Amino acid sequence: MLDNRRQAAVVGFLAAALLLAGLFWYVGAAEVFAELVDADLRLVALVGATAIAWLLSWALVLRLVLGALGRTLPAHESVLVYAAATFANNVTPFGQAGGEPITALLIADVADVEYERGLATIASTDALNFVPSILLAVGGVAYYATQVGLQGRLETVASGVLALAIAAPVLFAVGWRYRYRVEAALLEATAPVLSRLDRTLPWLPVPTSEGVKARIEGFFHAIERIATSPKRLALALACSAAGWLLQALGLWIAFQAFGVTVPLYIALFVIPIGTIASASPTPGGLGAIEAVHVLLLTVATAVPASTVTAVVAVHRVGGFLLMTSLGGGATAYLWTTGRRTGPAAD
């Protein structure tokens, strides 16, 4: 299984490299590299500082959510765990969907809680981070419409953002209302698979149906406990919004590094919309997010495509490498200090 994961990661990074290479080729690699050479390195470093500040903000979100479940981590451990979570998201396909199970194991190990509580923590953290992103995207697009007007691709983007802002809470509410039906459906779907695995691979610690049911119910119970801490939720949402603002500020500063000024409200809707592309099968959405950012920024501004691509390379590719490096270091530290993770079965 480990070999399969490594192969998937290698294939994912190769696909991301091809996407980035195709993007640079389409825009004009020579022009992009010429722009990169002229970048103001002090402002580029400041972009990196905003990325680290974003990491600290969202690490606080995770700490607050875990605290709502009755387990408080020291601030420095929360930062290490969230950095490791970012690393997991950046090296697994499908972004957070691929990284959440690994992060849940890490939280369970470091915080000494059950796996389902760790899963509820990171799932709730990601859900809380989603709320400000939609609000900022809607607000940014709305303000852009009042200043410039919407047409062509941006009109399509605005319609999609509005539809997502309406559909997401409705789907969540319906799913939560019928969560026990969801549980029954999951148990019905997994029971034959688990039974077959138990027969064919007797040496593998396969969880029982009762164990799966207990984990699902434990996950639901953890979510309910989080919902009963409104003050923590409000503070977590504020920290999440601060993280999104820091990402937008980083993109705005990246434009400044190339001698270009764009309105901050453009970055406010480009960042969260582009992040949706992290669900692509490349690790951390690498390649896909950059392509969406370049497309949106070239449509929303009068900045040349080569400059926009250089800006995105500094903000997104540089940020990806920085966060992956810091997260890899955090993961290695947690591993070498005895915080080892491993799957458990009931």
pTM exceeding the 0.85 threshold for the entire prediction: no
Domain that holds residue 171: 18-336
| Residue 346 in domain | no
| Residue 316 in domain | yes
**Backbone φ, ψ for residue 342 (5° rounding):** -165, 150
Give the tens place of pLDDT for each residue, 108-165. Answer: 888 888 877 788 788 888 888 888 888 887 777 777 777 666 665 666 666 666 676 6
If you search the block for the tokens 């040349």, which residue do you land on? 304
The identity of residue 95, as a single letter, is G
pLDDT band at 341 (very low <50, low <70, confident <90, very high): very low
Give the tens place of pLDDT for each residue, 268-284. Answer: 888 888 887 776 777 77
| Residue 162 in domain | yes
| Residue 5 in domain | no
| Residue 35 in domain | yes
| Residue 345 in domain | no
Helix 153-177 / helix 288-300 crossing angle, nearest 10 deg? 130
Residue 206 C-beta-side C-alpha neighbours within 13 Å: 17
The identity of residue 183, as a single letter, is E
Give the tens place of pLDDT for each residue, 196-221. Answer: 645 554 544 444 555 555 556 656 66
| Residue 141 in domain | yes
Q: How far apart are CA 266 and CA 278, in angstroms?
A: 20
The pLDDT value recorded for residue 178 is 66
Q: Are 311 and 255 in contact (CB under 8 A)?
A: yes
Q: How far apart are CA 275 and CA 130, in angstroms?
A: 10
pLDDT band at 179 (very low <50, low <70, confident <90, very high): low
| Residue 229 in domain | yes
Secondary structure of residue 92 in the 3-state scheme = coil
Rounded mean pLDDT, 231-253: 91
Dihedral angle over CA of 140, 94, 121, 131, nearest 10 = 10
174 pLDDT above the threshold of 50: yes
Q: Got the DSSP string for 107-149?
A: HHHHHT--HHHHHHHHHHHHHHHHHHHHHHHHHHHHHHHHHT-
Q: How far apart are CA 211 and CA 346, in angstroms?
A: 5
The pLDDT value recorded for residue 142 is 74
Share of the chain above pLDDT 70, in %: 71
∠ CA 190-192-193 to the nearest 5 degrees? Answer: 65
The pLDDT value recorded for residue 204 is 43
The total number of structural domains in the chain stands at: 1
Neighbours of 343 (CB within 10 A): 10
